[in-house]
């Protein structure tokens, strides 16, 4: 990852059609993907532990303090419970 890149997380708001892949209310790690973004998709690490592109409107991007992101990533967070 380049130093200027920031890891983001997003909360799932809609899992219609993907109940095994996404859980509403969960925080998912966002993987930067300019091509997916240009097509209206957001690439996240889903419940399978793999990254997939889903429609952007299924999520709300959240800005976490850098120390929180670092802690989540250091502990292998791909999927993090929002509860």
The per-residue pLDDT for 62 is 93
Residue 22's CATH number: 2.30.30
Structural domain that includes position 51: 8-80
Q: For residue range 5-62, what is the model confidence (pLDDT) as tens digits?
A: 566 899 999 999 999 999 999 999 999 999 999 999 999 999 999 999 999 999 999 9
| Position with higher pLDDT, 10 vs 82 | 10
pLDDT > 70? residue 79:
no
- Is there a domain that residue 1 lies in? no
Give the pair of three-digit tokens for residue 49.
């532990």
Q: For residue range 5-20, what is the model confidence (pLDDT) as tens digits?
A: 566 899 999 999 999 9
Q: What is the pTM of this model?
A: 0.81
- Is there a domain that residue 47 lies in? yes
Based on the structure, what is the number of domains in the chain?
1
């Amino acid at each position: 990852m380049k130093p200027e890149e920031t890891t983001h997380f997003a909360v799932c708001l809609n899992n219609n059609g993907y109940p095994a892949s996404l859980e509403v209310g969960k925080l998912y790690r966002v993987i930067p993907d300019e091509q997916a973004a240009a097509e209206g998709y957001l690439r996240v690490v889903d419940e399978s532990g793999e990254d997939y592109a889903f429609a952007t409107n299924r999520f709300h991007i959240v800005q976490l303090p850098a120390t929180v992101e670092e802690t989540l990533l250091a502990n292998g967070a791909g999927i993090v419970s929002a509860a």
